[in-house]
Structure 1
């Protein structure tokens, strides 16, 4: 069977975002809090804000290190280093006072037998550490992920895969064993192309983002309360919720900005409403009513602006892209026959 041209495939991968553009909702207003001033922070991927400090890591390809930044100035005030270079660091998550989890969880080619998380001390001042390491394995084979979160109260780790049409949510064991692989448990799904996520302080809600959108879900049922557009960013790969519940988003790029965003009122109201008793044993059937980036064109919870025009435009986009793919494929086949 002829292989479709790369441009056509790229167009199909971008389809969820084109559907979102068809509706064109107003993005959440962002307020710039600070910009990273350290020229060594060029691919900020993951963000933790605790105790008046911001912690970030560079994307894959960087040596083992974590940056601690003063958000009042954007200046780096501490770096923790370790000797062993990671394979593909993609995330950072809270791990308790003076510590963060570093997620060596990236796997773009789906070739890793397991992933690794490291518990790293952080704070003001430079230091060299030997972080405690834990191996994690998926129940369903190699998976690419960029999202690592810590459940408040229990400290339990949560990983979200970077699936194109929906991210799978996995939970780590309550106690991690450093001496053997720790098997992750699949418990549900969320929006596609997830690049980061964070729990709210109440432990009953979490937020997951992709390159242009964020969704708020209940925990552990993973019922989606709503989703909203984020401020435009070069390559948005981080989101954090601080101790006060403030949501912050960041992006890759030299001297990139970190912004605070307001969760839409309808979602805030849904978060404030009484919730049912948490399910103590969530399963893979626990998932939001809309589980992938196909929801980009939907109105957020409580929004009744009507979606039929967007659906019609979105359908036209789908048909147009399929036509481009078929024509390009047929043309490539014809050229090979003539050759």
Structure 2
């Protein structure tokens, strides 16, 4: 039911808007669009570009999979390493993955589909393996709480220069951007505090220079200028039409963004970034420097979903949310 609703919504959106972002002809190069071939990966919910293995992307399943992280080669779509985390509890609802400037992978066990009923969630951290091979690694587990109470979240982003961890909560009425402590500690709760307002979010990613934060949802995405830990001017970002739209990551060089989805043999689609992932201009217009900029030059949703299309999407999103809750 959920998959059918999502695909139908995507088709309706394409019909009503008549547009879709340009997707590059990738040839056989790394960081190309690819299909995840591993039959074990049926709920890919996060995506992060390797910093030491060109063209390799780290991903994971949503829930009921165990403490596993997979390295997938974008040239072939095949899994080239399966990492098993030890030293952590049983993962509950893993929704995001990111790589920090310290060379560590951060795995966000932050989902809470019961509407924010768990008193804490977790982040796991371990060094990105230098060798691509199946391995068991010891991970550090961090307890996470929110200053304003428990909530559902699917997006966790590590800033590429400061190393600070941010989480974007997910709510039909709009969520919040939460900033973690300057340094995570394993000895107690790490309190995340609300520092900004965001729309419905299923994943997010910082540009390699840290000057741009892109947050995606099922049908759209927005880019935000990011400075001193706070959101700035925003603009629409072009996204591909996908089934269960769940993940987003910049390529390591910032030349493109990779958009992923859930499901068996799910596709990861490359969309070129105008200006190579640099932060937008201070006036928010973006010029030629924004990722997949639709050219609306500001904070409206024009160029992404407009008029009657917006109403259709809102209804379908509500149906999907209801389906997810029933599931």
Pairwise TM-score range, normalised by the shorter structure: 0.7 to 0.9
Q: Is the 8 A contact 2:208 2:277 kept in 1?
A: no
Say if 1:69 and 1:233 are closer, same or farther in 2 by CA, change over 3 A: same
The Cα shift of 1:180 comes to 0.5
Higher Cα Rg, which structure? 1
Q: Does residue 150 of the first structure (1) align with residue 155 of the second (2)?
A: no
> What is the aligned partner in structure 1 of residue 231 from structure 2?
222
Partner of 1:46: 46
Contact 2:233 2:299 (C-alpha < 8 Å) held by counterparts: no
Q: What is the match of residue 117 of structure 1?
A: 123
Segments of 5+ residues of structure 1 without an aligned counterpart are 1-10, 277-287, 289-297, 322-339
TM-score (ref. length: structure 2) = 0.75
In the aligned structure 1, how far is the partner of 2:277 from the partner of 2:124? 36
2:58 & 2:11 partners in 1: Cα distance? 33
Give 1:121 shift.
3.7
The TM-score, its normalising length taken from structure 1, stands at 0.73
CA separation of 1:223 and 1:165: change in aligned 2, threshold 3 A: farther
Alignment deviations for residues 270-322 of structure 1 (CA, whole Å, 9 cap, x no partner): 9443x49xxxxxxxxxxx9xxxxxxxxx9832799989xx54x479879xx8x
Give the Cα separation in 1 of the matches to 2:11 and 2:39. Answer: 34
C-alpha contact (below 8 Å) 2:158/2:206 kept by paired residues: yes
Q: Deviations over 1:158-204 (max 9, x none)?
A: 10001112220001011111100011111101222x11000001211
Please report the RMSD computed on the Cα atoms of aligned residues, expressed in angstroms. Answer: 3.4
**Greater helix share, structure number:** 1
1:27 deviates by: 2.2
Cα distance per residue 1:114-138 (max 9 Å; x no partner) = 1110003443111112210111110
Question: Partner of 2:230: helix, strand, or coil?
Answer: coil
Map 1:1-339 onto structure 2 (within 5 A): 24=17, 26-31=19-24, 33-50=33-50, 51=52, 52=54, 53-83=56-86, 84-96=89-101, 99-109=104-114, 110-123=116-129, 124-192=132-200, 194-219=201-226, 220-245=229-254, 246-263=256-273, 271-273=279-281, 275=282, 300-301=296-297, 310-311=306-307, 313=308
